[in-house]
Amino acid sequence: MKIVEQVQELRSTLSEYRQAGLSVGFVPTMGNLHAGHLALVDAAHEKCDKVVVSIFVNPMQFAADEDFDTYPITPAEDEKALIEHNTALLYRPRRQDIFLSDLSKQTRVEVPELSEILCGLSRPHFFSGVATVVNTLFNRVQPDIAYFGKKDYQQFLVIRKMIKDLAMNLEVVGIETVRLNNGLAMSSRNNYLSSQEINQAAGLYRVLQHVARICQNNSHTYNEIEGLGIRELKEIGFAIDYLSIRRQSDLRAPERTDQNLIVLAAVWLGKTRLIDNLEFSLASS
């Protein structure tokens, strides 16, 4: 595996791939890699000749009171895992290679509507920060296909809309969430949880499954079902940011005629914020 920090070396290596007629799959990450990230790498291998992974902890997507300074950084373990998964190139830019010194003067990418709901309500800075950096990485790597985990479903749709609106010449693929045996979605922030909290956190997915089953039984309004789900989460011990039933396609509130739905939730367990979702379909009436 080749490791590069400078954009000139990145472009030189990618040019060699292009001249050889090789396709490029790209997995952007913030490091502290786990089985969920590595599933993206494996998926990229299925369709692409070369797999490029970036590791960059993006300060633009953290608010002042969030965990940027304590976000787990594990370079040696990340390199070992990527080598084991046959990654061709690891791009690890420094902050000064991506941003101006003053972030307030940095050009930003805004994706309206999708960025303003759900996680965007409590983290208004987040999706602009993600879209800006992912756009920069796309411009540098110019992949044929980019891979994102669907645990961050809203982020996946934001990136997909950015690609469409800016007429970017690449495909984006969402990969299903990888979970622990107890159902908890893999996340770098799981490192903040104690063993007891990991068991407790698994209740989030169980509640999402219950909400989906109630929707499929078609016996309550969506507002009533959301209320039931929120009460169940509180009983487990979560503080609630939101639990919401939406359409899969655009995250708008569903009509009764909509068949393909998703329930999404963001909660706090102690000082750790967790998100998860579950896609499901209703039987045609």
Catalytic machinery residues: 37
Tokens of 105: 């003067």
CA dihedral 180, 183, 187, 190 (to 10 degrees): -80
Q: Enumerate residues 6+ apart whose C-beta is below 8 A from 215.
A: 222, 225, 245, 261, 263, 280, 282
Cα(104)–Cα(121) distance, integer angstroms:
21
Nearest C-alpha neighbor of 133 from the set 149, 117, 109: 109
Tokens of 41: 């790498």
Cα(148)–Cα(195) distance, integer angstroms:
27
Tokens of 149: 């985990």
Cα(277)–Cα(162) distance, integer angstroms:
22
Please measure the distance between the N-terminal and C-terminal CA atoms of the chain and give it in whole angstroms: 53
